[in-house]
Structure 1
């Protein structure tokens, strides 16, 4: 699609027959036998997925999520040949700071809905008017309601460049950026590209730790614990990452054909999040905003948009981009804008300050909070919003 710079309103209207087909497919699931262990070491547990499937097919109402999304200002625009979907909520406070936030995998804009109110209307959520943001929430290319790239090269750096174009197109000459998971990688790339107008970034996953893990401090107990968790992820929690970074097309056939297969694949991400999600279904005990409905909202969005394979391709693209740069002896440019970082205790590897300072010498804000995990904005939106406000507060007058 050629770039036309037009910004078009977007509205979701899912056909009834599409939802009926989804329920039929769930009912026709062929189940494996139960795992032979009492934990998740063999994968997503049968009891968890069966309860999720039961709830999904008999109690869950996608129309409620659809209504929630359609109540928000949604748009699309074409950037570099890809139609980009985004939510754009302007604060009622005109001097609000523009903020572009990027979701990750297996997330979507659904994981960020809970922070819209606290960030755009802080006075209604315990904040001050001077903490307000104009909020832009794009769907990554190949994810959700955005179009799929039809050519190679859409790694984090290209996505970062597209976000700079989006903010310019929306008329924001000064803005900040935030991201977690894949969004942290894209936001990191924005900081390294430092497009004109970007005042600073905040991330809640130290994605850069993977490539330099042997160079990170390991002297204190906290540093050694972070190393242990990162090494455990690389040896025992890396299955989805390895498959998607080497064979995204192969896994895509299953993800687009079986809704239960898609759900299980998306749940098998990290230990902390998995057990929280499992308890929400098996025990009825949600962790913060990780409720049954919000979890199934996110899975259903992936199913309805058919983005199981296209979303996985980011891992393939980024892995090859890193390998090519390494082979050529290239190192990424430093982040030249102020960086804020928040460590959430349930993160895959809860990075200590020394790690954040190693990856980001321009670190200007660091904090460790007492609750929340990998899906921080989703699980603990109020805590997350407080961190974003604090990280960007000094940049508002710069």
Structure 2
């Protein structure tokens, strides 16, 4: 294994773009059943419109240039090819901050957030390190089995050490929140604090499979009943994507790697279902394109399989903890294991992807949390 850190430039061959456009032009479509809508998956009309824009209106070269305007690097850690952004602030007092995306996302999630962190109008600034999760987009191919959140956390700890950061903060949501919590738990001597984003739907969904979060919920309590109802709805109607990836990632992987329409639907449906504020469709299609061009739909599914079969979920971190709840209601505090002295912020709008939905409030909360921890 080499410890070398290599500069990286994203260059998708024109032949790959031509192939994508040809496949989209020749796509076969599942007819929409009369009287059905989003409750059965992304509707045909919505997907057709988005696919046509991907084929004829979306400017991949502009998005590629936007990504290449940020310093990108690759390295090898624990046998795995790792891609990451490393955007240093011009401010001499900037703090290092490791940020991790979740599912079904990519580092493109942070394109609007990063400038707000590296060059803020006021308040603390950050040197941002944003890796692509193993098996996702540019951190492919997946070198083998066993890439759980804990193994990823250990790889991130090694990455920050290679970059020369002795003290740093960590932030994430979804899978990235789990990885960030494990980084803080495993590297408390170097982590200044851990900041996690969540929302009411995600909190209830996570409580369905993470041991202990739903213990003690009372169906006769009005707030607890809302949580329990959301958990039931997720098990019944919302968890199919997770069930297939947690059990047969290879099978669904063939379709995700072979069909751009399936890869588009797989991601676009979640962006629609898990957001409250509008997301720029070019930013959505940047993530979809990264998954398509790298064939990472299958390998991302395999990492979800690995975590669902892992017993290592981590202990509570001993460093300061911060939580930002988007689309907040009274339910989240009931299931999120936040210590009494944790930083806690609530925002009325936004949900699962606040770095895309509401980057200004997210950046402000990161400054509010990490500022006193310098």
Q: Distance in 1 between matches of 2:100 and 2:371?
A: 19
> Is 2:304 aligned against 1:315?
yes
How far is the alpha carbon of 1:363 from its aligned partner? 5.0
Match of 2:332 in 1: 352
Q: Distance in 1 between matches of 2:341 and 2:48?
A: 44
Match of 1:156 in 2: 149
Match of 1:174 in 2: 167
Post-superposition Cα deviations, 1:93-138, rounded to whole Å, max 9, x if no partner, equal: 1111110000011100011111011111112xxx32xx11110010
Q: Distance in 2 between matches of 1:198 and 1:94?
A: 19
Is the 8 Å Cα contact of residues 87 and 138 (structure 1) preserved in structure 2? yes
How far is the alpha carbon of 1:234 from its aligned partner? 2.5
Q: Equivalences for 1:199-214 in 2 at 5 Å?
A: 199-205=192-198, 206=203, 209-210=207-208, 211=210, 212-214=212-214
Q: 1:298 aligns with which of 287, 290, 294?
A: 287
Is the 8 Å Cα contact of residues 240 and 268 (structure 1) preserved in structure 2? no
Q: Which moved more, 1:210-219 or 1:69-78?
A: 210-219
Matched residue count: 366
Q: 1:341 aligns with which of 323, 336, 346?
A: 323
Q: Equivalences for 1:226-265 in 2 at 5 Å?
A: 226-265=227-266
How far is the alpha carbon of 1:296 from its aligned partner? 1.0
Is the 8 Å Cα contact of residues 153 and 180 (structure 2) preserved in structure 1? yes
Structure 2 gaps, min length 5: none
Q: Distance in 2 between matches of 1:395 and 1:222?
A: 34
How far is the alpha carbon of 1:350 from its aligned partner? 7.9
Match of 1:50 in 2: 48
Q: Structure 1's 370 and 54: CA in aligned 2 closer, same or farther, altered over 3 A? A: same
How far is the alpha carbon of 1:75 from its aligned partner? 0.5
3-state DSSP class of the match of 2:244? helix
Is the 8 Å Cα contact of residues 324 and 346 (structure 2) preserved in structure 1? yes
Q: Distance in 1 between matches of 2:206 and 2:183?
A: 14
Q: Distance in 1 between matches of 2:345 and 2:272?
A: 23
Match of 1:140 in 2: 133
Q: Distance in 2 between matches of 1:309 and 1:116?
A: 28
Match of 1:373 in 2: 351
Q: 2:187 aligns with which of 176, 188, 194?
A: 194
Q: Which moved more, 1:201-210 or 1:136-145?
A: 201-210
Match of 2:215 in 1: 215
Q: Structure 1's 350 and 136: CA in aligned 2 closer, same or farther, altered over 3 A? A: farther
Q: Structure 1's 390 and 30: CA in aligned 2 closer, same or farther, altered over 3 A? A: same
Q: Distance in 1 between matches of 2:274 and 2:45?
A: 16
How far is the alpha carbon of 1:216 from its aligned partner? 5.3
Q: Distance in 1 between matches of 2:257 and 2:263?
A: 7
How far is the alpha carbon of 1:217 from its aligned partner? 4.5
Is the 8 Å Cα contact of residues 98 and 170 (structure 2) preserved in structure 1? yes
TM-score by length of structure 2 reads 0.92
Match of 1:76 in 2: 74
Is the 8 Å Cα contact of residues 178 and 187 (structure 1) preserved in structure 2? yes
Q: Equivalences for 1:12-23 in 2 at 5 Å?
A: 12-23=10-21
> Is 2:5 aligned against 1:7?
yes
Is the 8 Å Cα contact of residues 85 and 139 (structure 1) preserved in structure 2? yes
Q: Distance in 2 between matches of 1:362 and 1:151?
A: 40
Root-mean-square deviation (Å): 2.1
Structure 1 gaps, min length 5: 277-286, 326-330
Q: 1:122 aligns with which of 120, 123, 136?
A: 120
How far is the alpha carbon of 1:368 from its aligned partner? 1.0
3-state DSSP class of the match of 2:323? strand
TM-score by length of structure 1 reads 0.87
